[in-house]
């Protein structure tokens, strides 16, 4: 089945419309896009044990606050986020970088099929579209569009996850950086993102931050048009 981004989100700002794909293809329950705030949990494919633990903990915290967990069905952080939501009987949305009839990574085929049956899988790529390295950054932009906020759990200095962070900021979405990311001395990009409004998520402030997170239905469309 398919829908437009306007059907998914409602009225779009100029910057959202400019960056939105014309069509979204989906399998599963599209009503999940109307079930309160949505937060993308993203990070490294080659995640550390601590990173995976943090992804699971964050997903559980989102679920506890009635938030739909969004991620990209990649290895590592994405898989941990989806699985944590499923284990708690909560709602999760996968935004993938391939057509709906393809599976990447191949090892997540069964997970994708399960999400398509029980939850929601979304792609902007019609059947037959070749998957290239560019497909995934494009997917990240769409995931940022579909989410009220993005939370970066773990990412290296050159990680593609950074692209979704910048897209979230550019689109006027909330961007969370876990404290372990924001304070990592080996990384330079978190400091730049914080300058542009990224918020550091800690054990002390997570409840307040999540409770104050607006849903897409009530957002004020304050896209940061002058960021770039």
Q: Are 87 and 63 in contact, with CB atoms under 8 Å apart?
A: no
Q: For the purposes of burial, counting CB atoms within 10 Å of the CB of 176, is it exposed (0-12), middle (13-18) or buried (19 or more)?
A: buried
Among residues 154, 173, 200, 123, which one has the least CA distance to residue 42? 154
Q: Helices 77-87 and 109-118, interaxial angle, to 10°?
A: 40
Of 3.40.50.450, 3.30.1370.60, 3.50.50.60, 3.40.50.970, which CATH number belongs to 2-213? 3.40.50.450
Q: Are 126 and 15 in contact, with CB atoms under 8 Å apart?
A: no
pLDDT in tens, 13-38: 898 998 899 999 999 999 999 888 99
Retrieve residue 86's tokens: 């499923």
Confidence of residue 10 (pLDDT cuts 50, 70, 90): confident
pLDDT in tens, 162-219: 999 999 999 999 999 999 999 999 999 999 999 999 999 999 999 999 998 877 544 4
Q: Is the peptide bond before 105 cis (omega within 30 degrees of 0)?
A: yes
Among residues 185, 150, 120, 156, which one has the least CA distance to residue 45? 156
Rg of the chain (C-alpha set): 16
Q: Does residue 220 carry a pLDDT above 50?
A: no
- What pTM value is reported for the model? 0.92
* Sequence-separated (6 or more) residues with CB below 8 Å from residue 103: 109, 112
For the chain, give every domain's residue range.
2-213
Q: Are 200 and 194 in contact, with CB atoms under 8 Å apart?
A: yes
Q: Does residue 221 carry a pLDDT above 50?
A: no
Report the pLDDT value the prediction gives residue 217, as an integer from 0 to 100.
Answer: 45
* Sequence-separated (6 or more) residues with CB below 8 Å from residue 49: none
What is the mean pLDDT of the segment spanning 131-146?
96
């Amino acid at each position: 089945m398919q829908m437009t981004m306007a059907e998914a989100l409602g009225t779009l700002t100029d910057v959202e419309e400019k960056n939105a794909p014309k069509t979204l293809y989906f399998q599963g329950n599209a009503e999940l896009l109307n079930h309160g705030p949505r937060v993308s949990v993203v990070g490294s494919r080659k995640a550390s044990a601590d990173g995976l633990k943090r992804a699971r903990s964050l997903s559980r915290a989102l679920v506890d606050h009635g938030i739909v967990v969004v991620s990209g069905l990649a290895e590592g952080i994405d898989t941990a986020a989806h699985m944590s939501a499923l284990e708690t009987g909560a709602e999760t949305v996968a935004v993938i970088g391939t057509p709906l009839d393809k599976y990447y990574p191949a090892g997540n085929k069964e997970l994708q099929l399960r999400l398509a049956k029980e939850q929601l899988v979304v792609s902007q790529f019609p059947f037959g579209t070749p998957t290239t390295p560019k497909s995934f950054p494009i997917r990240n932009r769409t995931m940022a569009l579909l989410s009220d906020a993005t939370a970066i759990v773990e990412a290296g200095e050159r990680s593609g996850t950074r692209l979704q962070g910048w897209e979230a900021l550019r689109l006027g979405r909330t961007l969370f950086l876990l404290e372990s990311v924001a304070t990592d001395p080996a990384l330079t990009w978190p400091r730049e993102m914080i300058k542009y409004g990224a918020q550091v998520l800690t054990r002390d402030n997570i409840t307040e931050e999540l409770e104050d997170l607006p849903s897409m239905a009530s957002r004020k469309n304050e896209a940061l048009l002058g960021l770039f």
